[in-house]
Structure 1
Amino acid sequence: MGTNFFSRPTDRNQRVKLSSIRIWIFLFLFGISFLSFATLLIFPLHADSIQKRITPPNGYLRVDYPKASFSHYLQNFPLKPDGSPVLLYNGKQKQNQVHVAVLNFPLLKRDLIQCADAVMKLRAEYFYANKKFDAIHFKISNGMDVPFLRFANGERVVVKGNKTSWIQTKAKQGTNRDVFEEYLQFIYSYAGTISLKSELIKKPLSQLEPGDVWIEAGSPGHVVMVVDKAMGKDGQMVFLLAQSYMPSQEMHILNSEGEFSPWFTLPKGNNFQTPEWEFPAKELYGFLK
């Protein structure tokens, strides 16, 4: 009959050996538990995101959206560590720090990704992550529509003054990341608030959803994007806004001056004040589905 490891042995030497083994097992398991706990403190199981870090005000519940939707994508967008400053494209800190959190997507080392560019980048990144390459297209300032798939096929846009045309080139083809980045840099260079607004549809404030924007087209113009939404029992809505700005800077979630900060409430007058821009209250727009 074999020895039961957990039965009481009769031989003294065997008892000592088994006691030592149990001590080592205890220390090993304790060590694993401690390391696991420490690891959770430093590296959370899930990346910090908008909805994980920023909770709705008391009495409000976050609105859930289908996992495949742009709204859900924005609500779960990863954030830089808590307390991170907003950085400019040159690595310097933005002078006016008006944010509660910074979105975690990299800038270029050039002054390219400004307010409208950041909005278009988020939209493009959503489609790219879901391999919906045919949905990635934006208009540039002269009204020309520029689909990503034409870049993927090796075509490029020739710009001469305000005139543009497509040519077939020997440039790298495919939907890989480097071609996508080249496409985005072209969009950043030749699109802006005016071209972006031409692609959007106006929406009633009551129909606001994550992914919608307040936009004032111009040179300069500005745009802020809704990235989360919560509802109260009385039907009152609160939402989070994100922006980039000039010069090129990391996209960040804005603090509001209201009682639910950083959450905003719908404007009640003719104007909607955000920390760095005042919009006409009804200039809310959404992307075509």
Structure 2
Amino acid sequence: MKRNILMTIILPFLPIAHVEKTTKANIPLQTTQNTNTRPAMVSEIPLPAGFKRINYPAVSFAAWLRKIPIKKDTLVHLFNGKLKINQDAQYAVLDVPVGDKDLQQCADAVMRLRAQYLYDQKRYSEISFVDNAGKKYTCPGKLDSIHFQRYLEMVYSHCNTYSLEKQLHPVDDFSKIMPGDVLVKGGSPGHAEMVMDMAVNESGKVIYLLAQSYMPAQDIHILKDPLYRKLSPWYWVDKDNSFIYTPEWTFATSQLRRW
């Protein structure tokens, strides 16, 4: 299926995979859970020692994201069943269908998670995405799984990183980052990743998880942290950082957006 040219993104690999920084506050980065057992959902991804997950309301997007199941297999597969060439970016793979078309790429995965949350909350009229021309694609109401997937495929075919960046609201202070927020660079090339979870320690240090899909359409996966490998898959919320280095993209902190 042909897509809007802005949906086609070519994302460069970053030459930072060999970098490991360990100069953060001298906290032990051993996990507080048994790493021999793979987490069954996002909420079970182990934390660094001394950290606790931040509490969010039970009906919030943040709480919903934590309940997303994780596959036992850590391999990322493309929409056609083939393995992604780069298998070094992911810590874990979300058990979320990718479909059998090359549609659910980076921005699409972000929209998929947001749409599924609102659908589960029966907030059908809030499931709405806007294309580059300003046209809205709103979910018509309660749908069966087949027709909901068709609705999403229509969204994927008309919306992209550029339209998503325009639709979402800028977060001026990166330290106010929340689960469900989106790092997005609109354009071609462009990319989008979603904040999946957050935790804090007694000294106020905050960490977060990121997830992405990519091109071609592929499993949504939790990303490793290529800069602080001992902290991985968690990322620091650091006011001194101007950039967020992820395995296959680099964002500026000014590119954080919110629904």
**TM-score of the pair, normalised by structure 1:** 0.72
2:252 maps to 280
The unaligned stretches of length 5 or more in structure 1 are 1-46, 153-173
How high is the sequence identity, in percent, across the aligned residues? 40
- In our comparison, the structure showing a higher alpha carbon Rg is 1
User: Which of 186, 193, 198 is residue 161 of structure 2 equivalent to?
Assistant: 193
2:235 maps to 264
1:93 maps to 83
Q: CA deviation at 1:84?
A: 2.4
Equivalents in 2 of 1:133, 1:219: separation in Å? 30
1:145 aligns with 2:136: yes
What whole-Å deviation, never above 9, does each CA across 1:87-113 have from its counterpart, x for those lacking one?
A: 011111111121111011111211100
2:22 maps to none
Give 4+ residue runs of structure 1 displaced > 4 Å after superposition.
none
Q: Which moved more, 1:260-269 or 1:135-144?
A: 260-269
Q: Greater RCO between the two (CA within 8 Å, min separation 6)?
A: 2
Aligned residues: 217
1:222 aligns with 2:191: yes
1:249 maps to 218
1:64 maps to 55
What letter is aligned with 2:246? T
What letter is aligned with 2:77? L
Q: CA deviation at 1:220?
A: 1.8
Q: CA deviation at 1:140?
A: 1.6
1:51 aligns with 2:43: yes
1:31 maps to none
Secondary structure of 1:282's counterpart equals: helix
What letter is aligned with 1:141? N
Equivalents in 2 of 1:135, 1:281: separation in Å? 27
What whole-Å deviation, never above 9, does each CA across 1:127-155 have from its counterpart, x for those lacking one?
A: 11111111111102221111112xx5xxx
Equivalents in 1 of 2:167, 2:132: separation in Å? 11
Equivalents in 2 of 1:277, 1:176: separation in Å? 35
Q: Which moved more, 1:229-238 or 1:277-286?
A: 277-286
Equivalents in 2 of 1:179, 1:109: separation in Å? 15
Secondary structure of 2:86's counterpart equals: coil
More helix by share: 1
Secondary structure of 1:113's counterpart equals: coil
What letter is aligned with 2:148? F
The unaligned stretches of length 5 or more in structure 2 are 1-38
Q: CA deviation at 1:205?
A: 1.0
Q: Which moved more, 1:263-272 or 1:61-70?
A: 263-272
Equivalents in 1 of 2:91, 2:170: separation in Å? 28
**TM-score of the pair, normalised by structure 2:** 0.80
What letter is aligned with 1:186? M
**1:9-28 alignment, distance < 5 Å:** none
What whole-Å deviation, never above 9, does each CA across 1:195-221 have from its counterpart, x for those lacking one?
A: 111111111111111100111000120
2:200 maps to 231
